Amino acid sequence: MSPEVKPDFLISPEGLRVDGRRVDEMRPIELKVGVLKQADGSASIRQGKTYIIAGVYGPRELHPRHLTLNDRAYLRVDYRMATFSVPDRKRPAPSRREKEISMVIANALKPALFLEEFPKAVVDVFITVIQADGGTRCAAINAASLALADAGIPMRSLIPAVAVGKADGKLLVDLGDEEDKYGQGDVPMAIIPNTEEITLLQQDGSFSREELQEALQMGINSCKYLHELQKEALKRAYVKKTPDNGDEDEDDDDFEDDLETDLGEAAIMEDE
Amino acid sequence: MAVYFQKREVVVPGQLLAEGRYRASFGTYDEGGKIYSSLVGLAELRGNTVKVVALEGAYIPKEGDLVIGTITLVAGNNWKVDIGGPYGASLHANNALRRPYSDDISEYMDMGDVIAAEVIAFDRGSGPFLGMKGRGLRVLQGGMVLEVSPAKIPRIIGRRGSMINMIKDHLNIQTMVGQNGRIWIRAPSTAVLRLAIKAFKTIEAQAHTSKLTDRISEMLAEEIAEIKGSSEPEEEIEPKEGSVPDDSSKVEEGIPEEVESEPEPEPELEPEPEVVTDAEEEKPAEVEAKAEVKEEEDKKKTEEVSEE
């Protein structure tokens, strides 16, 4: 592959980015749930040219045993890049960077998961970057979160993630590869959308206080948009599996004879 | 007081389900008086309890569950049993045999044996413990074990066992359905066995569609007629595919037969009587027992919730 050249500008005179996006515009995103047959849960994401697949196994028995946590399940995330995912062949041994990103993704996902429901077990998340074009850690979180939901792991919420950066003095949402490499800074972030709690926040480059605050706000807005896409992708995968859901079901009368809950309701009516 | 979902709507984690005086139950969590879903599944309202029926998930043992497991290890007075899911179970000889029993408990059950057992204890601190002192809990001889998703088991049993009884009536098979997603089937012929597998797989695939019992019943009636028409003489064939180890050599050293009159059955190693009538008279009772257990569980759940 020809050596990459630094583009003349990251923001054109018209205020558009190298790939023609506006500063607050994300790349086209395609999310799919249930892409792997063998995994308990899986999802893929295409974000521009970035393409990532995540597979989830478990909760299952934890090996090696010494990692066992007695009060909750262990969340083991393995982020790997395929050898062909970058312009120069990536050496297949796990790099320092991959190990770090694995840890960062685990920490970003953990606050949303009810891992205490499965003490001593493990939930394995395997993430493979098929093609990297910037923003892989955030895209990986998006996909991993969907895969966990697909595997039936109980969680507080899906986790959307996005990177906000700075190039030519302007704040940009969802950095592409060139903006990441030649820009002035990068702030990847992940949030729990309902409460706007931040589960991942990293930064390189320098930002002023005002810039960082604005960047966070832009990130939160984009995350909420992403969250909608995630919910839609998940529902799409499951509504397909349940074709005539919503029909009058023979089980509709399933609980009519359930005296206890009926009494419960009656008691409440009296209260009011 | 408001509910934000339709009956049996597909909901996703973090989706707001209800507000006000509702109780959070399975598949949901309560945060500041609001109830959110914690799973992908079908939302349901029972009385004032909100729950989400999971569509996926590993098997998590519950006390009272009937499970089908494979013995993986004999350790002193314990058998280690694989029941699927993240937790390996153990079965103590005291909970399976009548005293006195031999020091070497592998004489009664050994590695590879497939058993039907009940989860007698399970909490966060100590792994699941099994017991085999109940009606119909025994070593399963012959037949095969079919694995389905544990989340689909309630549908396979049906309301008060309606689905499984219907299948038994049609096919005249012996079967046991474990809550851990394993189904043991022994059929009089390979054709019937295949049909049973097809039925269970269909239920698994279409677990959330309506009028499923009727459709399966129709399908079975049709196909069983076909089988009867094509091959009049039904031979007794043991299935090969995925069959459980049927160690008939052990049968000789077995204990004298007393299957039905046994008040506290120990793991009987004698061969199951191959007569079909046995299947008919023994099985419905089992399913009833299961249905009762389920009801009890439901009650337990509601109680737990109310304590909060």
> The domain that contains B80 carries what CATH number?
2.40.50.140
Q: Is B97 found in the same domain as B48?
A: no
Contact in structure between B92 and B106 (CB atoms under 8 Å): no
Q: Do B57 and A239 touch (CB under 8 A)?
A: no
Q: pTM for this structure?
A: 0.80
CATH of the domain at B15: 2.40.50.100
Q: Do B12 and A250 touch (CB under 8 A)?
A: no
Q: Is B178 found in the same domain as B91?
A: no
Q: Is B124 found in the same domain as B10?
A: no
Give B122's contacts in chain A (Cβ within 8 Å): none
Task: Choose from B22, B39, B56, B159 for mutation: most chain A CBs within 10 A.
Answer: B56
Q: Give the residue on B whose Cα is nearest the Cα of A62.
A: B86
Q: For the segment B285-305, what is each residue's pLDDT rounded down to a tens digit?
A: 444 444 444 444 444 444 444
Please state the rounded mean pLDDT for residues B271-276.
Answer: 37
pLDDT (0 to 100) of residue B233: 53
Q: Does residue B235 lie within any of the structural domains?
A: yes
Q: For the segment B150-203, what is each residue's pLDDT rounded down to a tens digit?
A: 999 999 998 889 999 999 999 999 999 999 999 999 999 999 999 999 999 999
Give B12's contacts in chain A (Cβ within 8 Å): 149, 158, 231, 234-235
Q: For the segment B105-143, what is each residue's pLDDT rounded down to a tens digit?
A: 999 999 999 999 999 999 888 889 999 998 899 999 999
Q: Is B17 found in the same domain as B104?
A: no
A29-240 is a CATH 3.30.230.70 domain: yes
Q: For the segment B7-58, what is each residue's pLDDT rounded down to a tens digit?
A: 888 999 999 999 988 999 999 999 988 999 999 999 999 889 999 989 889 9
Q: How far is B72 from chain A (nearest CA, A)?
A: 14
Q: Does residue B264 lie within any of the structural domains?
A: no
Q: For the segment B213-261, what is each residue's pLDDT rounded down to a tens digit?
A: 899 999 999 998 888 887 655 455 544 444 444 444 433 333 333 333 3
Q: Do B86 and A118 touch (CB under 8 A)?
A: yes
Closest to B71 measured CA to CA, from B250, B198, B287: B250
Q: Does residue B210 lie within any of the structural domains?
A: yes
pLDDT (0 to 100) of residue B231: 65
Q: Where are the domains of chain A?
A: 29-240
Q: Give the residue on B whose Cα is nearest the Cα of A124.
A: B86
Number of domains present in the structure of chain B = 3
Q: Is B168 found in the same domain as B44?
A: no
| Residue B75: domain span | 66-139
Give the closest of B7, B40, B47 to A149, CB-based: B40
Q: Do B39 and A120 touch (CB under 8 A)?
A: no
CATH of the domain at B162: 3.30.1370.10
pLDDT (0 to 100) of residue A269: 37
Q: What's the mean pLDDT when you consider all of chain B?
A: 79
Give B215's contacts in chain A (Cβ within 8 Å): none
Give the closest of A152, A157, A239 to B54, CB-based: A152
Q: Do B88 and A250 touch (CB under 8 A)?
A: no
Give the closest of A151, A239, A265 to B10, CB-based: A239
Q: For the segment A170-223, what is each residue's pLDDT rounded down to a tens digit?
A: 999 999 999 999 999 999 999 999 999 999 999 999 999 999 999 999 999 999
Q: Do A158 and B55 touch (CB under 8 A)?
A: no
Give B306's contacts in chain A (Cβ within 8 Å): 264
Q: Does residue B254 lie within any of the structural domains?
A: no
Please state the rounded mean pLDDT for residues B70-79.
Answer: 94
Q: Is B129 found in the same domain as B149?
A: no
Q: Is B194 found in the same domain as B80?
A: no
Q: Is B114 found in the same domain as B18?
A: no
Contact in structure between B14 and B37 (CB atoms under 8 Å): yes
Ranges of chain A whose pLDDT falls below 70: 1-4, 241-272
Closest to B174 measured CA to CA, from B144, B214, B200: B144
